[in-house]
Amino acid sequence: MKLTSHDRIMRIFQNKELDRPALKLWGATDDPYLLHPAYRPVRELAGRISDLFIGYSLPFNIYCGQKSEGQAESFITDTDDPTFKDNHIVFHTPKGDLHGVERISTVGEPSYTTEHMIKEPEDIEKLLSMEYEPFDFKADGFFQRQRQIGDRGVVLVNLYHAGYSLQCLIGSENMAFFSIDCRDKLERAIGVFSDRIREFVKSVTASGIRAPFQWVGPEVFIPPLMSPRDFTDFIYKYDKPLCDDIHNAGGYVWVHSHGKVANFIEQYIAMGVDVLNPLEPPKNGDINLESIIDKYSNRIGWEGNIEIQEIIQAKPERLKDLIHACVSAGNKSGRFILCPSAGYMEYPFPAEQYIDNLLLYLQYGFECVERCRTSG
């Protein structure tokens, strides 16, 4: 059996027989954009030998939809550091203004929040008082993107996540406090957001799109940030019906969740997640890939298990050992995607060792997954 990248990826979602594990470099696409010229050989090699996962966003805004005029504004101010600016976002709601600040880099470094928009429980009521109207959209762009990528990969629909969309406005510390002090307000907001996402998904599938949907966010509702009960009440309760909607419409589900997820695998399976990423090993995570696959086999698709820090810092022999062990363990599931724990082009000034290790990851990773084909 010899599959195209498109068919290989889709068969992982569908839990069907494979020719070999997939090889993914997170962030690799056919887009010519380069954060730094040093990434060029990595992008080119990934384009030739990896299986491409392309995210696609259709018009959607979970907070106010297309009713942003008069309700949402943003403006930029200088900071003491010339490499950073402050992006102020203001929601003008019927119950009062909400103001947040995102510090953004002018040289490609990650941004971070310096002021969360929701500071007190009553701010949640302000947020929900905003007028909301969904976007009208056409799916032509999605289908065009599918035609562009062809057999080289799969196009996935990007989705907001209900719980994460609220947490981003509150922050982890206040979210933990609110889960005790005003749990009903959190549930109400997440429920409203979940309804909006589900209506959006219905519009997407009604337009003829049958594809994997992908989202990030459940990681902020697991220990140590939140409790197992919080995961059940704020994630499983709302994501399970969403997954059912997607599956009933002929789609599939990809979920990203950093951290220690080993104790939540059964819930992710019951929820309807088809592929779970990034399966971090200790110390950041708690996934021993061989043990977890022995326990759950092919009940879910497994993606990841290579920490980006290893690609940044490891010596070549250690990185090769990690890749070999990862592919050997993952291959036993018949449903595995080798992938780093983060996007590769997220560092504006990459060191030579990092570029060399990215190329090694692709070259040796390809050797390892191809070896699975010849041995089985």
Read off the pLDDT of residues 53-108 as tens digits, 9 standing for 90 and up: 999 999 999 999 999 999 999 999 999 999 999 999 999 999 999 999 999 999 98
pLDDT of amino acid 195: 98
Q: Determine the longest span between alpha carbons in the chain, in angstroms.
A: 65
Hey, is 146 helix, strand or coil?
A: helix
State the chain's mean pLDDT as an integer. Answer: 96
The string of pLDDT tens digits covering residues 93-142 is: 999 999 999 999 999 899 999 999 999 999 999 999 999 999 999 999 99
Q: What's the sign of the alpha-carbon dihedral 113, 115, 121, 125?
A: negative
Q: What is the mean pLDDT of residues 208-219?
A: 97
Dihedral sign of CA atoms 326, 20, 371, 339 in order: negative
Confidence band of 1 (pLDDT split at 50, 70, 90): confident
Model pTM score: 0.95
* Residue 15, pLDDT score: 98
Per-residue pLDDT band for 288 (boundaries 50, 70, 90) equals very high
129, 204 contact by CB (below 8 A): no
pLDDT tens, residue by residue, 237-270: 999 999 999 999 999 999 999 999 999 999 999 9
The DSSP letter of residue 39 is: G
For residue 352, report the phi and psi dihedrals to the nearest 5 degrees.
Answer: -60, -40
376: pLDDT strictly greater than 60 = no
CA atoms within 13 A on the CB side of 183: 8
Tell me how far apart the alpha carbons of residues 54 and 145 are, in angstroms, rounded to a whole number.
Answer: 9
Cite the DSSP H helix spans in the chain: 5-14, 40-49, 122-128, 140-149, 162-170, 172-181, 183-206, 228-230, 237-248, 265-271, 289-296, 308-313, 316-331, 352-375
Half-sphere exposure of 106 (CA within 13 A, CB side): 11
Q: Does the N-terminal peptide bond of residue 228 adopt cis geometry, omega within 30 degrees of 0? A: no
Residue 375 has pLDDT above 70, yes or no: no
Residue 51 pLDDT class (50, 70, 90 cuts): very high
Instruction: Pull the structure tokens for residue 218.
Output: 């459940």
Torsion of CA 232, 233, 234, 239, to 10 degrees: 60
